[in-house]
């Protein structure tokens, strides 16, 4: 079983359904507003745990009721919370609108995520972890400290540079595995990505810059895996009715890392993660939409019967 440490964000997502996203200066009517537990770090931790990995989470929560709700959910998912600290700030909040096609807009207030500090990274005992997962919703200096500490302990770091705004590119120097979507790949490579062929061009450029392994996810166009050994795997997406794309990428990442580090062959891990994220897109919310391993296997069996 893979043993994974996620150092990252935990948020309360406040989600309103809208017919379309507002334009600047416009007020529109929303439909129902609901609260979901999210945050890229916590979502990836939950996805990995529901796919059979042993997971510990490190990061900051406020002392408010949102923090308590998040702690309760992560504990129910069997995630070790010894490295989750209380911070003198509100728990992180994501204000999300979802339109009729399932596409979202997200505004983040980092709150306690931004208070989790490098000094706390220094107290992490990395012994026994197979891999560390990072995103870009906590302080850049914290990610840098994790990368330095992981390098000293010879533990590979899988990084998801999301959201890409404010991402410190020097982090790429110490990353073993980069998992990013087309928007992030465009930003890092400067290449406009419309499909697999441009993703391939962008990915090759990143490999030339020294990245050992990378996956570019392309939504309904699937994903592309590349590495320094010349392996190239295109994994097609499954066609599903999109209800809410929130946490689909996080689900892919957590599910992939759990399977791949747990010993499942690379191409099977990619197919499994693609199925997990298809299921996440088919349900509302962040962690509420992340499937268990059983559900992913059932989905894959159903798809195989149809084809
Ligand atoms: O990736 C989805 C997540 O992004 C949401 O759960 C929200 O909290 C934001 O961090």
What's the pLDDT tens digit per position in 47-91?
999 999 999 999 999 999 999 999 999 999 999 999 999 999 999
Question: Hunting for tokens 């199925």 — which residue is that?
Answer: 275
- For ligand 1, the distance from its centroid to the CA atom of residue 242, given in whole angstroms, is 17
In which element (H, E) is residue 258 found? Answer: helix 248-261
**Six-digit token pair at 8?**
């990252």
Count of domains for the chain: 1
Q: Which of 154-158, 201-205, 244-248 has the lowest mean pLDDT?
A: 244-248
- For ligand 1, the distance from its centroid to the CA atom of residue 302, given in whole angstroms, is 29
Q: Which atom of ligand 1 is nearest to the CA of 9?
A: 10
CB 118, CB 249: distance < 8 Å: no
Rounded Cα distance between 40 and 47, Å, is 10
Q: What is the mean pLDDT of residues 221-246?
A: 94
Report the pLDDT value the prediction gives residue 307, as an integer from 0 to 100. Answer: 67
Tell me the per-residue pLDDT of 255-297, one tens digit each, with 9 for 90 and over. 999 999 999 999 999 999 999 999 999 998 899 999 999 999 9
Tell me the per-residue pLDDT of 85-114, one tens digit each, with 9 for 90 and over. 999 999 999 999 999 888 889 999 999 999
Is 250 a known active-site residue? yes
Out of 13, 77, 244, 250, the active site residue is: 250
Look at residue 121 and tell me whether its pLDDT is greater than 80. yes
> Closest Cα to atom 9, ligand 1: which residue?
39
Q: Which atom of ligand 1 is nearest to the CA of 287?
A: 6
Cα 262 from chain centroid?
18
Structural domain harbouring 288: 3-306
Among 161, 170, 156, which residue's Cα sits nearest to residue 138?
161
Among 240, 253, 246, which residue's Cα sits nearest to residue 285?
246
Give the sign of the dihedral formed by CA 112, CA 115, CA 118, CA 123.
Answer: negative
Q: In terms of C-beta density within 10 A (0-12 exposed, 13-18 middle, 19 or more buried), how is residue 263 classed?
A: exposed
Residues in Cβ contact with 150 at an 8 Å cutoff, skipping those fewer than 6 apart: 126, 132, 156, 157, 174
> Closest Cα to atom 6, ligand 1: which residue?
38
Residues in Cβ contact with 123 at an 8 Å cutoff, skipping those fewer than 6 apart: 83
- For ligand 1, the distance from its centroid to the CA atom of residue 75, given in whole angstroms, is 19
**Six-digit token pair at 36?**
């979901």
Q: Which atom of ligand 1 is nearest to the CA of 36?
A: 6
Mean pLDDT of the chain: 96
* Length of the chain (residues): 307
Look at residue 225 and tell me whether its pLDDT is greater than 90. yes
Q: How confident is the model at residue 242 (pLDDT cuts 50, 70, 90)?
A: confident
- CB-based pocket (< 6 A), ligand 1: 9, 11, 13, 38-40, 43, 94, 106, 108, 137, 246-247, 249-250, 286
Tell me the per-residue pLDDT of 30-44, one tens digit each, with 9 for 90 and over. 998 999 999 999 999
Question: Hunting for tokens 């390098």 — which residue is that?
Answer: 151
Among 284, 216, 258, 199, which residue's Cα sits nearest to residue 50?
258
95 strand-pairing partners: 14, 107
Look at residue 122 and tell me whether its pLDDT is greater than 90. yes
Among 14, 18, 21, 22, which residue's Cα sits nearest to residue 31?
18
Global pTM?
A: 0.96
- For ligand 1, the distance from its centroid to the CA atom of residue 114, given in whole angstroms, is 15
Rounded Cα distance between 186 and 218, Å, is 11
- For ligand 1, the distance from its centroid to the CA atom of residue 12, given in whole angstroms, is 9
- For ligand 1, the distance from its centroid to the CA atom of residue 96, given in whole angstroms, is 9
For a substitution probing ligand 1, which of 90, 163, 250, 287 has the most ligand atoms within 8 Å of its CB?
Answer: 250
Report the pLDDT value the prediction gives residue 204, as an integer from 0 to 100. Answer: 97
Q: In terms of C-beta density within 10 A (0-12 exposed, 13-18 middle, 19 or more buried), how is residue 59 classed?
A: buried
User: What is the CATH classification number for the domain harbouring 84?
Assistant: 3.40.1190.20
Q: Which atom of ligand 1 is nearest to the CA of 42?
A: 6
> Closest Cα to atom 2, ligand 1: which residue?
247
Q: How much of the chain exceeds pLDDT 70, in percent?
A: 100
Q: Which atom of ligand 1 is nearest to the CA of 104?
A: 2
């Amino acid at each position: 079983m893979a043993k994974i440490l996620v150092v990252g964000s935990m948020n309360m997502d406040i989600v309103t359904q809208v017919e379309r996203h507002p334009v600047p200066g416009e007020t529109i009517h929303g439909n129902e507003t609901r609260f979901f537990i999210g945050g890229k770090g916590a979502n990836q931790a939950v996805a990995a745990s529901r796919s059979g990995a042993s997971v510990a989470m490190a990061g900051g929560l406020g002392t408010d009721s949102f923090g308590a709700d998040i702690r309760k959910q992560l504990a129910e998912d069997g995630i070790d919370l010894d490295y989750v600290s209380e911070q003198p700030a509100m728990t992180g909040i994501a204000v999300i609108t979802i339109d009729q096609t399932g596409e979202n807009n997200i505004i983040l207030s980092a709150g306690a995520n931004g208070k989790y500090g490098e000094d706390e990274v220094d107290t992490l005992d990395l012994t026994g972890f197979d891999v560390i997962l990072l995103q870009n919703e906590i302080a850049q200096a914290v990610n840098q400290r994790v990368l330095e500490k992981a390098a000293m302990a010879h533990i590979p770091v899988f990084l998801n540079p999301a959201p890409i705004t404010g991402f410190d590119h020097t982090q790429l120097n110490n990353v073993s595995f980069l998992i990013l979507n087309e928007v992030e790949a465009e930003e890092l490579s400067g290449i406009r990505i419309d499909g697999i062929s441009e993703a391939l061009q962008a990915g090759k450029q990143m490999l030339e810059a020294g990245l050992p392994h990378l996956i570019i996810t392309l939504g309904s166009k699937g994903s592309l895996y590349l590495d320094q050994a010349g392996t190239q795997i295109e994994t097609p997406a499954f066609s599903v009715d999109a209800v809410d794309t929130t946490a689909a990428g996080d689900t892919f990442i957590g599910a992939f890392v759990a399977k791949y580090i747990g010993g499942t062959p690379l191409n099977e891990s990619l197919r499994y993660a693609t199925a997990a994220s298809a299921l996440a897109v088919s349900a509302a919310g962040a962690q509420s939409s992340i499937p268990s391993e059983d559900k992913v296997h059932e989905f894959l069996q159903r798809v195989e019967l149809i084809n």
